Structure 1
Amino acid sequence: MNHMLLTVRQDANLTDNLVGVNAMEVLINALIKSGAQRSSLRAKAFGGARMVDGLSDIGEANAQFTLDFLESEGITCDGHSFGGTNARNIRFWPATGRVLQRMSTDRLIEPKTIVQAPPEGNDLELF
């Protein structure tokens, strides 16, 4: 049996989903090139935490993308852990499919607003 581990990025949009599909196909093709049988691929997926308070929940969209992709490709997802507000530390043994997950106890990162004073000078703007 061949196992793969999926992690979910924090910043998905339509373009990223297209990039995600391409990345997944590259991964699957590399597994097959290394001797894996596509029909025996299985996955476990992790990620999608909302790491920065006040931003949209992109991780949720990424998690859904992951599950939809696996289903559409006929790859069984043996387990997943998505969402929350803490990072995950993952340890993965591909030969057995065993995964250890440890949730970080770090706090959310508060977004910071940086206010810059207008530059002093002759009002010349370069762009």
Structure 2
Amino acid sequence: MKLRFRLAFYLFGLFLGIFAVVQFLGAKAEAKGVMFCYLPNCRVLKDLRSKSLNYSPEAKATLEENWVNLDDIKKTLEFGDVDFSKSNKAYKKGKIYIIEGQNSSNEEITVTMINFTDKVLLEKIEKK
């Protein structure tokens, strides 16, 4: 058998095997609620979402202004972007994280959070 036929059969079997493994592992992960979260942005947001959320007086006052609500903060914690150049620094016995996202009116917002070992403090919310 010529080399190109052997190579074609090999590649066909390889792609078929990869497809089967992805289908099997994908269905298994979806059934257990597992998500791929190995990138730094995803890991930080997942850690912040997993802890209890407390509010500073400044954040409570901003939430009462009605241009941003708690759902916007939750969406920012799920789909936002962490600014690592300003984040992951020691601050008040925790680490500070600056997260950029959008509110329900599609306005850019910046959320400042302090991550402690057992809780997360919503420090402030700003419009960009």
Greater relative contact order (Cα < 8 A, sep 6+): 1
Q: Which structure is higher in helix share?
A: 2
Structure whose CA Rg is larger: 2
Q: Which TM-score applies when normalising by structure 2?
A: 0.19
Q: Which TM-score applies when normalising by structure 1?
A: 0.19
